[in-house]
């Protein structure tokens, strides 16, 4: 993510001005949803919107193509076309004829979609960051139907493997794992991290920095700790350094190689979705749900706050 951020630094984004009618309609839309609603009703508006964005999109593509990670250049890809989406829907309806394009399928509704459910169980590999389908390969299967590829080619295909660690703390190579059964349990964001703070955390360590980071994955707030009290200037510098940081739970701030005493600022090595640190509440920051970081109104005296969506989770007493 930080490489991508590099590419986007110093880039101002501006779309092309469209004709007056388009601009008038566009000015009434203040979100992507309302833009989409207007585009649904008016095909002219839709093509004008696409035109007005095309320059800035090609500018971004050019910039991103110049970025590299470990000597490999980035490859931007283009969003699915209307035809691609129609094709996918037609295939999906072949899997389960009760599917309807206007109706969104949530996990709750899944049990009601028997055929889709059977398909997902039968030949799909669902992971946190990926979704893969590989037919079972049987010529008589009625769930995923026989493969159309030549048998030899079909048999040489495998689903993408999950990361598997080696004993020295690195990950096994893709080549080594391809074709072997793996599961998602070694996903980096799930790993137990052994190291924690290099000192035993107190409220003073929190107050010394008086700043938090929000995880991009789970949106939980994580405290920053420092042994010495940061000056106003150090806080400004720290804030600048983390402003564009794509932070995820447990990521060490030391990776930023910050100068001077800022290199002595730490986050606790916790996982995504783990409850908010108790020192957050000791520091008397804005009351939020300990499980999901939503703002809460009621703050009970003897237990940590839980929002109405998390009220069924176990109570954490003070």
| Closest CB to Zn ion among residues 178, 309 | 309
Q: Rounded to an integer, what distance in angstroms lies between the CA atom of residue 119 and that of residue 116? A: 5
Q: Does 310 bind Zn ion (CB under 5 A)?
A: yes
Residue list 219-278, contact with Zn ion (CB under 5 A): 249, 272
Coil, helix or strand at residue 301: coil
Total binding residues for Zn ion by CB under 5 A? 15
Q: Which is nearer to Zn ion, 215 or 265 (CB)?
A: 215
Which residue, 11 or 190, is less far from Zn ion as judged by CB? 190
Contacts of 79 (CB under 8 A, 6+ apart): none
Give least dist CB 143 to Zn ion, A.
5
Helix, strand, coil % in the chain, rounded to nearest 5 = 40, 10, 50
Piece in contact with Zn ion (CB under 5 A), picked from 65-73, 155-163, 169-177, 216-224: 216-224
Binding status of residue 279 toward Zn ion by CB under 5 A: no
Query: Which of 215, 224, 230, 288 is in the footprint of Zn ion by CB under 5 A?
Result: 215
Q: Alpha-carbon distance 302 to 318, whole Å? A: 5
Q: Which value, to the nearest 10 degrees, does the dihedral of the CA atoms of residues 83, 89, 91, 97 take?
A: -150
Cβ 317 to Zn ion, closest distance in Å? Answer: 17
CB 279 within 8 A of CB 203: yes
Q: Are 128 and 187 in contact (CB under 8 A)?
A: yes
**136 contacts Zn ion (rule: CB under 5 A):** yes
Contact pick of 35, 67, 141, 258 for Zn ion (by CB under 5 A) = 141
The nearer residue to Zn ion, 39 or 144, going by C-beta atoms, is 144
Please, what is the minimum distance in Å from the beta carbon of residue 146 to Zn ion? 8
The nearer residue to Zn ion, 124 or 141, going by C-beta atoms, is 141
Asked if 144 interacts with Zn ion (CB under 5 A), we say: yes
Q: Restricting to residues 35-74, which ones interact with Zn ion according to CB under 5 A?
A: none
DSSP string, 170-232: SB--HHHHTTS---GGG-GGGPPP----SS---HHHHHHH--EEE-TTT--EEEEEESSPPPH
Of 186, 133, 195, the residue nearest 159 (C-alpha):
133
The Cα–Cα gap between 293 and 220 comes to: 6
Out of 119, 280, 291, 304, the residue judged to bind Zn ion by CB under 5 A: 291
Residue 290 sits in the site that holds Zn ion (CB under 5 A): no
Closest distance of CB 207 from Zn ion, Å:
23
Which residues contact Zn ion (rule: CB under 5 A)?
136, 141, 143-144, 215, 217-218, 249, 272, 289, 291-292, 294, 307, 310
């Amino acid at each position: 993510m930080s490489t991508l951020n590099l590419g986007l630094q110093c880039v101002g984004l501006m779309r092309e001005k469209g004709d007056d009618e388009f601009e008038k309609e566009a000015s009434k839309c203040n979100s992507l949803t309302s833009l989409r609603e207007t585009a649904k009703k008016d095909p002219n508006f839709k093509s004008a919107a696409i035109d007005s964005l095309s320059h800035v999109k090609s500018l971004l593509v050019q910039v991103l193509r110049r970025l590299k990670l470990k000597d490999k250049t980035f490859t931007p890809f283009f969003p699915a076309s209307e035809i691609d989406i129609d094709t996918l829907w037609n295939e999906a309806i072949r899997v389960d004829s009760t599917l309807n394009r206007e109706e969104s399928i949530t996990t709750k509704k899944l049990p009601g979609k028997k055929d889709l459910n059977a398909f997902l169980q039968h030949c799909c590999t669902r992971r946190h960051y990926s979704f893969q389908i590989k037919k079972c390969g049987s010529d008589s299967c009625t769930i995923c139907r026989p493969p159309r590829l030549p048998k030899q080619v079909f048999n040489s295909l495998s689903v993408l493997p999950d990361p598997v660690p080696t004993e020295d703390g690195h990950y096994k190579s893709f080549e080594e794992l391809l074709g072997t059964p793996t599961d998602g349990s070694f996903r980096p964001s799930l790993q137990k991290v052994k190291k924690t703070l290099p000192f035993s955390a107190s409220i003073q360590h929190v107050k010394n920095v008086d700043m938090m980071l929000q995880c991009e994955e789970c949106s939980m707030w994580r405290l920053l700790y420092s042994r010495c009290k940061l000056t106003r200037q150090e806080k400004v510098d720290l804030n600048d350094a983390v402003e564009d940081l794509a932070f995820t739970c447990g990521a060490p701030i030391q990776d930023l190689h910050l100068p001077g005493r800022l290199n002595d600022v730490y986050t606790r090595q916790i996982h995504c979705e783990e409850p908010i640190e108790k020192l957050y509440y000791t520091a008397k920051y804005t009351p939020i749900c300990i499980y999901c970081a939503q703002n809460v109104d009621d703050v009970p005296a003897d237990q940590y706050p839980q929002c109405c969506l998390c009220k069924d989770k176990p109570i954490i007493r003070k």
